[in-house]
Amino acid sequence: MILAVLSGKGGAGKTFVSVNLAVTAGRATYIDCDVEEPNGRLFLKPKDIKEKPVSSRIPEFDPEKCSECRKCVDFCQFNALVYVGDRPVVFPEVCHSCGGCAIVCPSGAVKETERQVGTVETGWRGDVRVVTGILNPGEASAVPVIKSALKTGCAAEELTVLDCPPGSGCSVLESVSSADYCILVVEPTAFGLHNFQMVAELVWLMKKPWGVVINREDGAYPPLEEFCTQNAIPILGRIPYSKKLAGLCAAGQIACTSDEETGHLFARLLYAVREEAET
């Protein structure tokens, strides 16, 4: 089962939930798809790491063949091409590798070449395989690194937990598309609920079955409870607002193994997720 862990805003607890679910499952794969700031490895501390470069394509222009028509420059929706002097020049960090320039070029002057944009690291923590996508700083698109991390790590026969990027943009869409079930981690605040509703729209649109984990709960937050009730969204688990958990996280500890109560909480959460996902 491929399980995507999402949230509207950053800091809601995606990594906390993902890491603890993978460790609770025992044999599992954890994939960090939050490639701009992958932090699951800070908790999982994987060993025997193997690295694999991720590259993306950029255009190269043949000045002999270029007829100076500028069709490529006008076509580029990302404005990654500039016509300087007498030829187009590409700005690699702005290029999204769509290949459009090569298609519109009437004289076959565009050739695509490979360029490294990030790395995928694979390591182990006990029986948990830890796959981390790492995007090079300054790159415009996270999608190639996420694709490569998913290809490396996704194994449908065992539990695969995808720690997704925050928000509801391209990189989240890429992460969610392969998931069988989604967990939305939400903070019971007005801000948390607002951004959670944006992700709810996304998972509905993608027709994915999903449920909610409320993190840092300090008494019921009625607007969130009402939203879940009205839309028949299952609340799979509730993680309390607790100084102890914050302390464990700050120390880079994995709460489900360091704290018995949290261990039980995640065992029950994993059970609830499996039950929901199978129905």
Partner 1 sequence: MRIAIPMDERNTDTGLCPSFGRAPIFLLHDTKTGKDVFYTNPAADAPGGAGLKAAQFIVDQKADVLITVRCGENSAQVFRAVGIVVYKAANGTAKENLSAFAQGKLPHMTEFHAGFQGRA
93 part of the interface to partner 1, by CB under 8 A? yes
Q: Among 49, 89, 103, 156, indicate the residue that binds partner 1 (CB under 8 A).
A: 89
78 part of the interface to partner 1, by CB under 8 A? yes
Residue type, 3: L
140 part of the interface to partner 1, by CB under 8 A? yes
Q: Among 64, 106, 138, 251, indicate the residue that binds partner 1 (CB under 8 A).
A: 138
69 part of the interface to partner 1, by CB under 8 A? no
Most distant CA atoms of the chain, gap in Å: 70
Q: Among 94, 102, 249, 267, indicate the residue that binds partner 1 (CB under 8 A).
A: 94
Residue type, 132: T
Least gap, CB of 139 to partner 1 (angstroms): 9
d(Cα 235, Cα 249) in Å, to the nearest integer?
23
Least gap, CB of 76 to partner 1 (angstroms): 8
20 contacts: CB under 8 Å, gap ≥ 6: 254, 255, 256, 262, 266
Q: Among 73, 102, 154, 267, indicate the residue that binds partner 1 (CB under 8 A).
A: 73
Please answer whether residues 14 and 43 qualify as being in contact, where contact means their C-beta atoms are separated by less than 8 angstroms: no
Helix pair 222-230, 190-205: axis angle to 10 deg: 20
Using alpha carbons, select from 220, 224, 270, 227 the residue that is nearest to residue 241: 220
Stretches 86-94, 125-133, 184-192, 236-244: which one binds partner 1 (CB under 8 A)?
86-94
Write each residue from 98 to 137 as x if it is in contact with partner 1 (CB under 8 A), else as -, in one continuous string: ----------------------------------------
Q: Among 83, 98, 208, 272, indicate the residue that binds partner 1 (CB under 8 A).
A: 83
At 22, is the secondary structure helix, strand, or coil?
helix
Least gap, CB of 146 to partner 1 (angstroms): 17
d(Cα 87, Cα 129) in Å, to the nearest integer?
47
Please answer whether residues 8 and 182 qualify as being in contact, where contact means their C-beta atoms are separated by less than 8 angstroms: no
HSE (CB half, 13 Å, CA atoms) of 163? 32
**Number of residues forming the site for partner 1 (CB under 8 A):** 17
At 8, is the secondary structure helix, strand, or coil?
coil
Q: Among 42, 49, 82, 103, indicate the residue that binds partner 1 (CB under 8 A).
A: 82
Q: Among 48, 84, 106, 219, indicate the residue that binds partner 1 (CB under 8 A).
A: 84
CA angle, 8 then 11 then 15, to 5°: 95
Stretches 3-11, 55-63, 81-89, 109-117: which one binds partner 1 (CB under 8 A)?
81-89
173 part of the interface to partner 1, by CB under 8 A? no
Site of interaction with partner 1 (CB under 8 A): 73, 76-85, 89, 91, 93-94, 138, 140
